[in-house]
Amino acid sequence: MHAGLCRLRLAPDLFWRLTPVELAAATGAFAPENASPARDDLAALMAAYPDAPSLAGLDGDAASSPFFAGEPQ
């Protein structure tokens, strides 16, 4: 009841009309255990979509960028 009424903020009449399967789906019971990408998948995405040069240094290193280093503009 807490998940439906408090966490999901369902109206009581809607909560009581839910089937157990619908409530389980709404609370994430069917979500994969590890929804984060694997390290290799993340590396492939980072290679395919690098950071924009305007947001980082010319070498793509955000630490070398004055924008991120806190230096006055």
pLDDT category, 52, cuts 50, 70, 90?
confident
- Residue 69: CB partners within 8 Å, gap ≥ 6? 63
The winner for highest mean pLDDT among 28-32, 41-45, 56-60 is: 41-45
Q: Give the residue-averaged pLDDT of 10-33.
A: 91
Q: How far apart are CA 53 and CA 60, in angstroms?
A: 6
Residue 14 confidence (pLDDT): 95
Q: Is the pLDDT of residue 28 over 70?
A: yes
Mean pLDDT of 50-65: 61
Taking alpha carbons only, the member of 30, 10, 12, 13 closest to residue 21 is: 30
